Chain A
Amino acid sequence: MTKIADGHILPMPAIHRRDLLALGAGGLLAASGLGSARAQTKAAPPPPSKPTGQVVVGLSQEPTAFNPLMPGIEVDETVWMQIFNTLWVADPKGNLIPDLAVEIPSETNGGISDGGLAWKVKLREGVTWHDGTPFTAEDVKYTLELIVAPGFKSRTRVGHAFVRDIKVTGPLEISWRMEKAYAPYLALLSNTYIVPKHLLEKAADPNTAPYNAAPVGTGPFKWGTRTPGDNIQLVANEKFHGKGPYLERAVLKYVPDQTALYAQFRTGQVDLIIGTGIPANFYAEAVKLPGRKVVKVPSASLEILMPNLEHPVLKDKAVRKALYASINKQAIIDIIYYGLHIPTESFAPQDSWAYNPGLPKQTYDLALANKILDDAGWKRSGSGTRMKDGVPLTFAVSTTTGAALREQTQQLMMQDWAQIGVKMTINNMPAAVIWGDFYTRSKFDSLVVGTAFRTVIDPDPAHRFGSDAIPAKSGNGANQMQWQNAEADALMKEGQTTFDQAKRKAIYFKLQELVREELPILPIYQYAPVEGYKEGLIGFEPNVNARQNTWNMGSWYWAR
């Protein structure tokens, strides 16, 4: 039993996400190996006794969707995380820590039973909405039902669509059944914000409710004001059920141009840059700025070459192997990206418990690439471009117009591939065009794209790799590569229905080996974005398992 500041007794557990900070953000950062050499080493001073001061967080995209169940982009999450809570959250190591729930349901504690089909969740006592109304199991039921309600524009129904018979079994207890065993649902719930029934059910249409412009939640900060196109101000929720908040006000400041954002960080108008971060070309200068701490943060996103496996040339595994062997990854990372990013062989982020570190390392080897193509029967023609059965070895690589560094990557690839008799062309388009049907309906030859292959924080990539998840064929999923592999399908199915982490780990290790062998994606690097904050800000802690590093803003404060 833990006693918290406002006198409430919390039943369980003792650990809350904000407690992690007792360790000191600097310590954790250094321990993760990702903090800069300048990470804090001194013990952090204690937090203020009441919320004090403000923090200005600089973002290069504007948060605009405030109902956390509706479609939004990643940056909207910076707001949701402050206003709302989820049943549990993932810490930087991937452990789930209870938040609105008192424990994580598992087969051991009886929260998950009947082979993963029956779920039961106990909720935290003493939580209130920002308007003072107590939080109950009815709110959770309402949330889960709203997500799948027919007319509701919900962000995603992945996982939620399997939920059946939701029952409120007590004011703070809820249970449901799943249509099929689905282990990633635990992770999905760590990203499912609970909304208040008493406010939203009154709305004639939850899609257009005024609530969506001034949300009420249970989180450490309350909705303050919004100046469209400029900033959002959040104010401390002094009745918050966890530790903190320690800041009186949090300002999310939108600065669209990344160079302008960096200038504002430099001149001190923003205290923090997160999200798209500090551009790579400013990294060397930024680490030397006095009074600023600049860190490489972990990210689950990968930069890959995504081949379309229905393309006459790219469907040949030998071609993909030869292309992969002739990508000069290290040059791309070192020369184009200032050495910031981390080469990778896997679709899983290297920080994940499911990451397989034993995959074969790609080496830049033009001779090998040539041999693979020779052996596969791709013969050099007069023009230098290889041919097989009358099909020339040529295809286009597309990416977003104006993404200068990716355009340079394309040029490097083009040069290398020309040497092995591959003719690559560039077919770039503006973002709104390329990421429309061209991408989702697999109309591309190949793409240079930054994306992630997991379900929220769960290693399950079934919606990206499954044969039944090809949008151009079945209308669902996000397998734009159009990869079909029976062995992979079986592994992913097994991974979804197994709740034992050790067993799942073995499954995903094998899947990573298979993907590395079959190359439905050609991984280039795992992102290591650069974020920065003003010295004296205590509590900033990068978390690869949170969509934004404002995940623990309730426990930030200034050393005075």
Chain B
Amino acid sequence: MSGFLLQRLMQAILLLLIVSMIGFAILHLAPGGPLSQFAAGGEMNQEDLDRIIEQLGLNRPMPVQYAEWLWRMLKGDWGLSYRDQQPVLHIIAGHLGPTLELMLTSTLLAMVIGAWIGIIGAVKRYSLFDGIATIGTMIALSIPTFWFGLVVIYVFSVGLGWLPSGNRFTIGDGSFLNRLHHLIGPCIVLALVSTAVWSRYMRSSMLDVINQDFVRTARAKGVPERRILMTHVLRNALLPMITITGLHVPSLLSGALVTETVFTWPGMGRLFLDSISYRDYPVVMGILMFTAVMVLLGSLLADLLYGVADPRIARSGR
């Protein structure tokens, strides 16, 4: 087990290094820079811009800039945002809470509903329910999130006045109910697509297992159908789901760009978009590294959970 972990750790370090190099290069090679918006406003003249470029060290060769960035990163210093003048870690931490709140709620919702639809759909294959679920899923998957978000706002906020048209809570009222009220809109939008995805995976995963020999054997032995489903089928069908869950972890933390923008949710997705459009190199690199670490952790988590769900995998050679 520890050998496996060590091997994964080495792989992770190498991967992070490659990701950081590519990310840094792409970001810094793209034309334009963090000062372009000052130039656009016409308030600062070339002398001012040049002076600040020099003070930020942006006029030095890129490998030098990268080496410095890497060295500071290794010492735990993620730098200061160009836009905010705040430590990058501080900024990321500030956006993590809202993202977790939104993504956890919508993901749990989507997992529960999606799994339920998937299980029923598999058990009652080709039934009316399965048909409706399949069509519904296709529709949900093809709706653009941006458009659907606007529809939700238009119908439930502007038209009916039932839901707030965005924000995490009403300023001046941070109560639990108020927050819950604000969660509904973006959750509906996010959960719609995820539910569709989860239900599809669950359905095909269940179907795979249902057709296996051991299920047939169990049936032949006269094991009650309910027990077959719960102990034999579901347990095995959950294996691929664990992988998907593990791969889903990073998105829990990196947020949902479009939904966060439409619903004015101050999460990681919005931060990333804002930082890119501003060319806030330290923050973009920070988010990139943070997400990369999360992806690696997520897949590691999936591997480990796999072993828990199916002890045969854990025992085999690790």
- Which residues of A approach B to under 8 Å, CB–CB? 54, 56, 62, 64-65, 67, 70-71, 73-74, 151, 153-158, 207-208, 212-213, 227-231, 233, 249, 251, 253-257, 259-260, 263-264, 266-267, 269, 429-440, 451-452, 463-464, 469, 471, 475-478
Q: Which residues of B129-169 have CB atoms within 8 Å of chain A's CB atoms?
A: 150, 153-154, 157-158, 161, 164-168
Q: Which residues of B43-62 have CB atoms within 8 Å of chain A's CB atoms?
A: 43-52, 55-56
Selected from A153, A254, A260, A436, the residue in CB contact (under 8 A) with B39 is: A436
User: Is the Cβ of A229 less than 8 Å from the Cβ of B171?
Assistant: no
Residues of A within 8 A of B98 (CB): 229-230
Q: Which residues of B83-111 have CB atoms within 8 Å of chain A's CB atoms?
A: 83-86, 91, 94-95, 98
User: Is the Cβ of A260 less than 8 Å from the Cβ of B264?
Assistant: yes
Residues of B within 8 A of A67 (CB): 85
How far in angstroms is the closest Cβ of chain B from A549?
17
User: Is the Cβ of A431 less than 8 Å from the Cβ of B40?
Assistant: yes
Residues of A within 8 A of B263 (CB): 260
> Provided the pairs A56-B171, A269-B164 are in contact, do residues A477 and B45 lie with their beta carbons within 8 angstroms?
yes
- Which residues of B approach A to under 8 Å, CB–CB? 30-33, 35-52, 55-56, 80-81, 83-86, 91, 94-95, 98, 150, 153-154, 157-158, 161, 164-168, 170-172, 261-264, 266-267, 270-271, 273-274, 277-279
Residues of B within 8 A of A452 (CB): 42
User: Is the Cβ of A437 less than 8 Å from the Cβ of B31?
Assistant: yes
Contacts A267-B161, A431-B36, A431-B277 known; 13 new A-B pairs at CB < 8 A: A74-B41, A154-B48, A155-B48, A228-B266, A229-B266, A229-B267, A230-B264, A254-B264, A260-B166, A431-B37, A452-B42, A476-B46, A478-B39
The number of inter-chain residue pairs (CB within 8 angstroms) is 184
User: Is the Cβ of B266 less than 8 Å from the Cβ of A227?
Assistant: yes
User: Is the Cβ of B165 less than 8 Å from the Cβ of A267?
Assistant: yes
Query: Top 4 closest A-B pairs, CB basis?
Result: A229-B266, A471-B46, A436-B32, A230-B266
- Complex: how many Å from CA A229 to CA B166? 13
How far in angstroms is the closest Cβ of chain B from A47?
21
User: Is the Cβ of B83 less than 8 Å from the Cβ of A64?
Assistant: yes
Q: List 5 A-B contacts (CB under 8 A).
A: A65-B84, A65-B85, A157-B47, A432-B33, A440-B46
- Complex: how many Å from CA A440 to CA B45? 9
Q: Please name the residue on chain B nearest to A263 by beta carbon.
A: B165
Selected from A158, A431, A434, the residue in CB contact (under 8 A) with B45 is: A158
User: Is the Cβ of A475 less than 8 Å from the Cβ of B85?
Assistant: no
Residues of A within 8 A of B48 (CB): 71, 154-158
- Complex: how many Å from CA A254 to CA B168? 12
Selected from A156, A429, A439, the residue in CB contact (under 8 A) with B43 is: A156
Residues of B within 8 A of A229 (CB): 94-95, 98, 266-267, 270-271, 274
How far in angstroms is the closest Cβ of chain B from A158?
6
Selected from B37, B46, B165, B166, the residue in CB contact (under 8 A) with A435 is: B37
Residues of B within 8 A of A153 (CB): 51-52, 55-56
Residues of A within 8 A of B36 (CB): 431-436, 439
> Provided the pairs A153-B55, A433-B32 are in contact, do residues A478 and B85 lie with their beta carbons within 8 angstroms?
no
How far in angstroms is the closest Cβ of chain A from B209?
44
How far in angstroms is the closest Cβ of chain B from A271?
10
Residues of B within 8 A of A157 (CB): 47-48
User: Is the Cβ of A267 less than 8 Å from the Cβ of B47?
Assistant: no
Residues of A within 8 A of B270 (CB): 229, 256
Residues of A within 8 A of B81 (CB): 64
User: Is the Cβ of A71 less than 8 Å from the Cβ of B264?
Assistant: no
Residues of B within 8 A of A451 (CB): 40-42
- Complex: how many Å from CA A269 to CA B94? 23
Selected from A228, A433, A436, the residue in CB contact (under 8 A) with B95 is: A228
- Complex: how many Å from CA A387 to CA B271? 50
How far in angstroms is the closest Cβ of chain B from A470?
9
How far in angstroms is the closest Cβ of chain A from B141?
24
Q: Please name the residue on chain B nearest to A438 by beta carbon.
A: B31
How far in angstroms is the closest Cβ of chain A from B307?
38
User: Is the Cβ of B45 less than 8 Å from the Cβ of A228?
Assistant: no
User: Is the Cβ of A260 less than 8 Å from the Cβ of B262?
Assistant: yes
How far in angstroms is the closest Cβ of chain B from A23?
30
